[in-house]
Structure formats: C-alpha cells, structure tokens
Structure 1
Amino acid sequence: MAPPVGLGQGLTRLLQFSGQLSNENPLKHQLSFWTGLVQEYFTPKAVMKVTLWKDNQRNEAKPFEIGVPILPRFFLVTTQSGVKSMTLSLDGARERLLAQHHAVVECVSAVWTYKYNNGYTVTLRGPLTVHVFIIPLTSQQSSFTLRFDHLQFDAHTHEKFISLDSIAGQRAVETPKTPRVRNAPTPSPNGASVGQREEDRQWDEPRILIDHAVIPGEPVNAFGIPQATMRCLEVRNA
C-alpha cells in the first residue's frame, strides 16, 4: 500500500520536475519529449493555471488555464522561442497533508526562471500552489508514483537580466581618475560633497566602456513570456 504524502514527498517531486525543465536536452525541440514529461508528472485531468501581469503593473492581467492536452505544446513553443532551460525556485515552500494520498505544496514567493539562448534570463515571481496525488501504477498498488493534479502560479512581477558576454561592442577599461584635493568641499544637493564622492570612487573597480554597444532584442513581451507562447495560450483559451 502506498504511504501517505505530506512529509516532503510532494516537494521532492516538484523539484524533480524542475530538474527536468532545467536539463538542456536537444530532445526538448520535439513534441514527443514534452508529451512524455507531462504524462510522467501530471494526472490525465490536471490543469496548470498561470496569471501574468502587464509591465509589472496590477492593471491588466492575462489568466490562462492550461490542460494536459495543451501543456506539451506550451512547453514546446516556449523552447522553440529560444528558452534553453527553466527552473523553479521554492524557498520557504511548505507541504500539507489534505488526505492520505493528497498533499498540497505552497510557496508564497516562488521564482520561475527562464534562460534564453541569446543571453537573457527572465524571472517570474509570485505564489505557487501545487496539489500532489499518489497514483498507483498497478491494480495491487504495490508500485506508485506522484503526479500533479493542479498547479497554479500567479506571476506578480517579472525581471529581465542579460549576460555581459552577450553585449557586443569594442570594450575598453576606463582610465582611473586621481581624486582632486580641495580646501573646502563643494556641497551637493543630496548632502554629500563633490570632493567626498570623488574620493570614494578611487576604491571602485575600473568601469568597462563599450563603444557602439549592441544588446540582443528582448525575447519576451510586456507580460514576461515569449510572444509565440502568448499566442499559443490565447488561441487554446479562446
């Protein structure tokens, strides 16, 4: 008989799923890969609910309900849009037992990170709730697995970062400036003197100057996901 959940098994299963998302596998560009992954981690009637907010403002939201028939296509389109890996960070997550074979994992501030081939990293932050069930694999229930029946992620904010190596241009190290000695420091509007600021800067690392810098185009729209992924979800939810 399968043991009850609620003692961390559901959280462990969720981290295993995150590990599959983060693996840079060339098979991720095939629909069959995502179909198999969804079948392994989700129940047949599972639903993933995602809410996205435009420009990090609480004015316009895009809520989506993604069922199992759509989930593989959602992951495939996202991968084809330049995402090489995804990870779920669950600091402070808690797992509660709701029934013998049913637990819920809750994380007030989860982070869903997307790493793109062009050097961008986009993080979506918000509360995450996942209902986990024990599913028997045989009629005798001698073997079992854990699967998600309901996954809800409300991305309140998203942030974009770019790798310095992805910025093209001619680089040069700034020539350090020797602080000038002043008899009477000139006060500045924020309260710190100009002389003090210059003296403090002598301890800074030399800045890098990039002539005619070129930054890759942002791979996400105002809601924090690729536009192709957004179109896929809008069509499926229409």
Structure 2
Amino acid sequence: MRIVRVSSLFETNLCFSVSLSAVFRFSHLIGFGQCVMHLLRFSGCLAQETQQNRLQLSHWETLVDSFFTDYAVMRLTLWKDNQRAEAKPFEIGVPILPRFFLVTAQSGVKSMSFTLEGARERVTTPGRATIDCAGAVWAFRYTSGYTVTLRGTLTARLSVQPPKDDAPQPFPGLKFEEIIFDASTHEKLISLDAIQGPRRGPVDSPRSPIMNGPTYNMEKDENRVHIDRAVIPGEPVNAFGIPQATMRCLEVGTFFPAVVRRRETNMIDSLQKAWHR
C-alpha cells in the first residue's frame, strides 16, 4: 500500500513539474493584448444568434470548458433599481456556469456581448495576467425586442494552460480563472419594431432654420410619429436587471459549493472511520 502511494505521489509531482515548465515556456504569450483578445473572442461566441443548440446544456458546457479552467469562478454583483442601496452578490462556479447561460437563453436572450472601454492588461506572475476595465458593458439582447445593458467595472484573471494530452495540436491556450463584474447600473432599451399599434406618420417636413430667425424648438418643430393604442412587450428583467429565472438559478447555485463541501466532508469521515476499523 505504501509503495502505491509513493508512486502516485511521484507521478503527480512529475506531471505538475511538466505542466509548470510548459507554463513558464509559453509565459511570453501574454502581456501584449492576448488576454483582451481572448475576452473579446469569448464575447463573440456569446453574441452568435444563429446557433440552434443555444437551448442545450451541452453547448454551454463545451463553451465553458473551452474558456474557463476547472476551478474558475465568476463573481457577479447586481444593484436593485440602479441605486447603491441593495445589492445581490453571486459567486458562480464552473458546475453552475453552463446552467446560468442556459437559463438566461431560455428566458429569451438571443445574444450577449461585452464592450470594453479603456481595458488594461498586465502580467501579474509568470503565465498569469489580469484585465482591468473601469467602463465595461454587458449587453443582453432579447427576442422580444428589448436590449438590457449592465454597466460597471470588470476584472478578469487569466492563465496560460498547457495543451491537453488528447489535443490535436500541442499548443498552449489561455483560460479564465476568475471574472468579476460589478454592475452598478442597468438600462433597458426597446426596438421601435417591437412597439405594436397603428402609426400616424408626420405630415409636415421639418422646417429649415432661417438666418436671424426664431430659435429652433425641438419639441415643437421635430417630426413625430403617433402610435394609437400602442402595445409594448413586458419587461423581461427584474429590478436587478436580469431575468427572474436567472436570478433563481443564481440563488440556488450559491448553495451548491456548500453541498459539495458537505459531501466531501462526509466521504472523508466515512473513509477515516473505515480506515480505523
């Protein structure tokens, strides 16, 4: 029994040293905008609307496996009614992350995307880098015509991952270890095509400004379209800016790590009792 343990420990240390050497070998691949491009590539995958399998869990599991490490965490903070009075912080691990995207897609979100304003990439340790963005926008586009944008600060931590043994090409890759998004405000926009009702267009053309004439009054002089008995779709989000079903998924997901730790503790206790017997 002792020989097996020593052998397993030796193999583990050997694999760890090989992986660590690969990370140091390819650590020069970060620090020149590669991490920002990786985040934008992830945004591009979320923005694709033509994928037929967006409502399948396997699609999001594959996406998360491609961009996140096994121990990655997404931390999301939402504020109620755009006021810094009541907040809901969520910690989303890899087991819950695919379900978070799935439930959001099932709630009518056809695409998502990130917009980064003034993002900065810096190397923290060999093989690791951090992205800091003070003006980030996370946009959710709904099939009903709504577009909901979460605005706030974004921090992403990435690391160079060695290629897997079964990879077709032995090249390293970047993966997220942590994404922190603090959504201070959210905005709701709706497409004009989503507003139903008979329209009465403007009759008069806009009046051209006259030299030394009266001041142009936008409220009186601009063209207006009147919609009789207008009907607009209901708002797809709650007071925190996300669908209610997504909120329930996140609230249930917060209990998942505690359940896993409890099961692991029970398994360790059972093994210890069996060992002492």
TM range (shorter): 0.7 to 0.9
Q: Secondary structure at the match of 1:72?
A: helix
Match of 1:47 in 2: 73
Please, what is the CA RMSD of the aligned residues?
2.2
Q: 2: distance between equivalents of 1:121 and 1:178?
A: 30
Fraction of identical pairs, as percent: 56
Matched, 1:27 2:53: yes
Match of 2:258 in 1: none
Report the Cα offset of residue 142 of structure 1: 4.8
Match of 2:157 in 1: 131
Whichever residue aligns with residue 146 of structure 1, its letter is: L
Whichever residue aligns with residue 191 of structure 2, its letter is: S
TM-score normalised per structure 2: 0.76
Match of 1:185 in 2: none
CA contact (8 A) 2:186 2:241 kept: yes
For residues 237 and 166 of structure 1, do their structure 2 counterparts lie closer, same or farther at Cα, with a shift above 3 Å needed? same
Name the structure, 1 or 2, with higher relative contact order (CA <8 Å, separation 6+): 1
Give ranges in structure 1 of 5+ residues lacking alignment: 180-194
CA contact (8 A) 2:27 2:128 kept: no
Match of 1:15 in 2: 40
Matched, 1:212 2:206: no
For residues 207 and 129 of structure 1, do their structure 2 counterparts lie closer, same or farther at Cα, with a shift above 3 Å needed? same
CA contact (8 A) 1:56 1:157 kept: yes
Match of 2:26 in 1: 2
TM-score normalised per structure 1: 0.88
Whichever residue aligns with residue 157 of structure 1, its letter is: T
For residues 63 and 208 of structure 1, do their structure 2 counterparts lie closer, same or farther at Cα, with a shift above 3 Å needed? same
Q: 2: distance between equivalents of 1:126 and 1:103?
A: 21
Q: Secondary structure at the match of 1:168?
A: coil
Larger Cα Rg: Structure 1 or Structure 2? 2
Q: Secondary structure at the match of 1:77?
A: helix
Match of 1:183 in 2: none
Matched, 1:145 2:162: no
For residues 178 and 94 of structure 1, do their structure 2 counterparts lie closer, same or farther at Cα, with a shift above 3 Å needed? closer
For residues 103 and 56 of structure 1, do their structure 2 counterparts lie closer, same or farther at Cα, with a shift above 3 Å needed? same
Q: 1: distance between equivalents of 2:206 and 2:252?
A: 61
Matched, 1:100 2:131: no
Structure with the bigger percentage of helix: 2
Q: 1: distance between equivalents of 2:151 and 2:219?
A: 37
Deviations 1:23-79 (A, max 9, x none): 011211100000000000000000000000000001100000000000000000000
Whichever residue aligns with residue 184 of structure 2, its letter is: H
Deviates more, 1:205-214 or 1:130-139: 130-139
Q: 2: distance between equivalents of 1:35 and 1:202?
A: 51
Whichever residue aligns with residue 246 of structure 2, its letter is: T
Report the Cα offset of residue 177 of structure 1: 9.6
CA contact (8 A) 2:206 2:222 kept: no
Match of 1:110 in 2: 136
Matched residues, number: 221
CA contact (8 A) 1:178 1:202 kept: no
Structure with the bigger percentage of strand: 1
Matched, 1:81 2:107: yes
Report the Cα offset of residue 200 of structure 1: 3.1
CA contact (8 A) 2:205 2:223 kept: no
Q: Secondary structure at the match of 1:103?
A: strand
For residues 142 and 26 of structure 1, do their structure 2 counterparts lie closer, same or farther at Cα, with a shift above 3 Å needed? closer
CA contact (8 A) 1:86 1:114 kept: yes
Report the Cα offset of residue 176 of structure 1: 3.8
Partner of residue 90 from structure 2, selected from 64, 67, 79: 64
Give ranges in structure 2 of 5+ residues lacking alignment: 1-24, 208-212, 256-277
Q: Secondary structure at the match of 1:39?
A: helix
Whichever residue aligns with residue 2 of structure 1, its letter is: F
